[in-house]
Structure 1
């Protein structure tokens, strides 16, 4: 588990602690995802970047806890959990639902006077670009079909009926949070935003991704990858480089100042 200021939290995972890193990366998993999804990323960036990953309730060691089906409520909780980790400059990175969640956490941090180094939003349309989606209302078979189509869940999990039955409530809760999320106009971000998208993603278009520019007064950058919703896997090296560059840019600017 993650531990900051001497307090362990079930919400935080820190796979490769980097005590001397000058910057920290906080990773927000996709709907149905767990902290371990980002283990390879943490391994790749350590020790230059201290990587922490959020672990939502309802999965893995938290499988007996109820999920939180409202993204705004989840963001409120995560701000409290992440506050002790803001002793270092913080880059926020989220994929799919995690991108919306990272955005909402970033907004809340900025309202407290804590400006993230950057937000890297992956595989998710901009907050103001709403779609009516109802996957969370499907029966279990329909939900599993969605997971198979997006190819973001381990095949071994989808083939294990007992394990699948155990995690489906958490996945449904995540989908409910993602699909019922409504952007609340107000203060957005002032930090740089870098949006990533797969050009064949059925969940988000390049145009919907480009609208992330409307949610920051800082610089905006868009990178389009060849691939679907989980383009992260085949393009892991390039995604890792983008995240490392965001972290290093802050270190360089601080050194220059």
Structure 2
């Protein structure tokens, strides 16, 4: 099915339409975010068409019901996203987006529906979703509002922390975060997939040790391509050091391209 760039789709936004691009990249943002930060990530990737997944309940979908289970996400993504995956593609997930992107990749493989088109998963700022996290006792679902806000400040880019002192913004954000946290708190099956996985994280990220991040390797059978990259910064390290992150993305993308041409 061809996708017309003149038509808006509720589940994703194409950053800059590139009908002749050889690859598609789908970005699954973190909890509570609409993903607008990623709109210019494709500027030095002319051979790729980047799209940002838009979850219900944010951005232009603000009035929609929030989803709280992987099953709900998979049902809707199967119907609304898969028809538009038509080329070799890469999934990038950040935080709860790692859970959604990994679960969708496995679903596509098991359903035999375009799973062969997924060539790489880049998972950022979260431990492997088949293992209880080191911060499991600090879930957003059980924090008070004040605790949640303080936690957000600790995770965020220091330049943007003042935003969490603006009450209308926080009041809008908290229900979304609590819904997303329900999704991230559930463990998913540990059976691995035949897709390479690369993991990115910030060195100042609390409760995410390199040893813990390395356990993502248990979820891929392509173990020789697995790697963990640690960047300066916090949970949102990619907004603190975007040039460094994008350079590493280009290196990892190019490695996959070379392998697919062999």
**Shorter-normalised TM-score: what interval?**
0.7 to 0.9
How far, CA to CA, are the matches of 2:245 and 2:187 in structure 1? 28
Alignment of structure 1 residues 1-257 onto 2, 5 Å: 4=3, 8-45=8-45, 47-113=46-112, 114-115=115-116, 116-131=118-133, 132-133=136-137, 134-151=139-156, 154-155=160-161, 157-178=163-184, 180-186=185-191, 188-218=192-222, 219-254=225-260, 256-257=261-262
CA-atom RMSD, angstroms?
2.3
**Greater Cα shift, 63-72 or 95-104:** 63-72
How far, CA to CA, are the matches of 2:231 and 2:168 in structure 1? 35
- Residue 37 to residue 175, structure 1, CA distance change in 2 (3 Å): farther
How far, CA to CA, are the matches of 1:243 and 1:76 in structure 2? 29
Whether the 8 Å CA contact 1:11–1:81 is kept in 2: the answer is yes
How far 1:152 moved relative to its partner? 5.2
Q: Mind listing any 5+ residue stretches in structure 2 that lack a counterpart?
A: none
Whether the 8 Å CA contact 1:203–1:229 is kept in 2: the answer is no
How far 1:246 moved relative to its partner? 3.6
- Residue 203 to residue 56, structure 1, CA distance change in 2 (3 Å): farther
Q: Mind listing any 5+ residue stretches in structure 1 that lack a counterpart?
A: none
Whether the 8 Å CA contact 2:140–2:177 is kept in 1: the answer is no
How far, CA to CA, are the matches of 2:157 and 2:178 in structure 1? 15
Q: Could you tell me the TM-score, scaled by structure 2's length?
A: 0.86
How far, CA to CA, are the matches of 2:241 and 2:201 in structure 1? 11
- Residue 42 to residue 168, structure 1, CA distance change in 2 (3 Å): farther
How far, CA to CA, are the matches of 1:145 and 1:82 in structure 2? 35
Deviations 1:43-101 (A, max 9, x none): 343x3210011111122222212211123432332233321232111101111111121
- Residue 43 to residue 203, structure 1, CA distance change in 2 (3 Å): farther
How far, CA to CA, are the matches of 1:240 and 1:158 in structure 2? 27
Q: Could you tell me the TM-score, scaled by structure 1's length?
A: 0.87
Instruction: Tell me the number of residue pairs that the alignment of Structure 1 and Structure 2 aligns.
Output: 251
How far, CA to CA, are the matches of 1:75 and 1:147 in structure 2? 27
- Residue 174 to residue 50, structure 1, CA distance change in 2 (3 Å): same
How far, CA to CA, are the matches of 2:80 and 2:207 in structure 1? 29
Whether the 8 Å CA contact 1:91–1:246 is kept in 2: the answer is no
